[in-house]
Amino acid sequence: MQIIKTALLAYGGSGKLFHAPFLNVHDGFKLIGAWERSKKNIRHDYPDAKSFDTLEEILASDAQLIIVNTPIYTHYEYTKKALEAGKNVLVEKAFTSTSEEAKMLDNIAKEKNLKLCVYQNRRWDSDFLTVQKVFQRGELGEILEAEIRFERYNPNLSPKAWKEKKQPGSGILMDLGAHIIDQALVLFGWPEAVFADIRNLRPTTQVNDFFDILLYYPNNRVRLKATFFAKEPLPGYVLQGRNGSFIKMRGDVQEDELKLGKIPNRSSWGTEDSENQGFINIGDKRENLETLQGNYLHLFDALYKSIVMDEKVPVPASDAVQSLKIMEAAEESALTGKIISLKK
């Protein structure tokens, strides 16, 4: 089996939780190391891995895949350098700070015949996979209205100063918004227009921590909402069709299991508690629906095949371009108070 040597550009929260464990258990990847600027922690968890001192050292290594898991404002620079060094690249959401940057990186990757993928791991959340299945089965009939929410209660400022600093890529729109905008596009495709309310609710914060976005489609509306002031979160997913409704709370357990140090597997990983099952109501029948199993390993499976077998990447840069265009339109709408028409 061909092994893809892989390096991380950071070994903090995301590197330690969302990437290294999956690379370590996947037969097709070998984690060769990470760029660690101050604390040297990776060898404690992975003794065979190397702690790189500079980006240049990683780019000169035999790594075939670079994972850009640094703050968003660095993504364009680091990804461009990695592509120019002949590396395939996996970039965390929101991919870049602007849609123009995203398009430029996509062009570079295509010119160099390299794989460039966006780490939209929440396409493989148990709750979203279940919603997607319900949507695709079509038993709800034409969807007239949908809501996707990502709500938390976190009124305090982040101890990570860069997260609270007003700079490209900061704020909840780029953070949680990148996930649910992507999910809306997966389900419903490109909308005709956007209307948005974006606010800063925490005292002294410099970045947005609330948004309410309405996507306009010819025959339906999709509402996307995130906030840090939801002590009692509402359902994460609501589909209202001509024949009935499907309601689902957020329940994916993968992040919590990773924080507990659990190791991903292919049998029981990502299995939600039954109490978090969604329910479907059609006609005179209302019943719970078993939640599908989530697993971020499937993203790495697809990425492996894209590199080794020259298949399509699981989340192409062009998807990120569309998400970023919607974010930019949402910001314009919030600033002007107008509905913003969209062009692809």
**Exposed, middle or buried by CB within 10 Å (0-12, 13-18, 19+), for 64?**
buried
Residue that is written with structure tokens 């800063």 in the block: 200
pLDDT in tens, 200-223: 999 888 999 999 999 999 999 999
Strand 221-227 and strand 210-216: the pairing is: antiparallel
31 to 4, 8, 28, 63, 249: CA distances (angstroms): 9, 8, 10, 9, 35
Q: What pLDDT is stored for residue 240 in this prediction?
A: 98
Residue 341 scores a pLDDT above 80: yes
Once rounded to an integer, what is the mean pLDDT over residues 258-269? 95
DSSP 3-state assignment of 76? helix
Q: What pLDDT is stored for residue 159 in this prediction?
A: 80
Q: What pLDDT is stored for residue 167 in this prediction?
A: 85
Given a contact cutoff of 8 angstroms between Cβ atoms, the answer to whether 139 and 243 are in contact is yes
Compute the mean pLDDT over every residue in the chain, rounded to the nearest whole number: 96
Q: What pLDDT is stored for residue 137 in this prediction?
A: 95
Helices (H) and strands (E) in the chain, counts: 11, 15
Structure tokens at 68: 């850009």
Structure tokens at 236: 């994460």
Q: What pLDDT is stored for residue 204 in this prediction?
A: 86
* CB atoms inside a 10 Å sphere around CB 1: 6
| Confidence band for 227, pLDDT divided at 50, 70 and 90 | very high
pLDDT in tens, 156-186: 888 877 778 888 888 999 999 999 999 999 9
Once rounded to an integer, what is the mean pLDDT over residues 288-296? 97
252 to 127, 150, 151, 265, 294: CA distances (angstroms): 6, 12, 14, 15, 7
